[in-house]
Amino acid sequence: MARSVTNVVVALSALYTLVFGVWMWGWPQSFAEYVNFPPHEHFLHDLGAFHVGIGIALVAALVWRDAILVVLVGLATAGLIHTVNHAMDSHLGGAVSDPYVIGAQALVAVVGIVFRARHLRVSGAKEQAR
pLDDT in tens, the chain (130 residues): 888 999 999 999 999 999 999 999 999 999 999 999 988 999 999 999 999 999 999 999 999 999 999 999 999 999 999 999 999 999 988 899 999 999 999 999 999 999 999 999 988 766 655 5
Work out how many domains the chain is built from and give that number.
Answer: 1
Rounded Cα–Cα distance for residues 24 and 107 (Å): 24
Task: Let me know: does 57 contact 79? Beta carbons within 8 Å.
Answer: no
CA 120/CA 116 separation, integer angstroms: 6
Report how far residue 74's alpha carbon sits from residue 57's, in angstroms, rounded to the nearest whole number: 4
User: pTM of the predicted model, to two decimals?
Assistant: 0.88
Domain, as residue range, for 44? 1-129
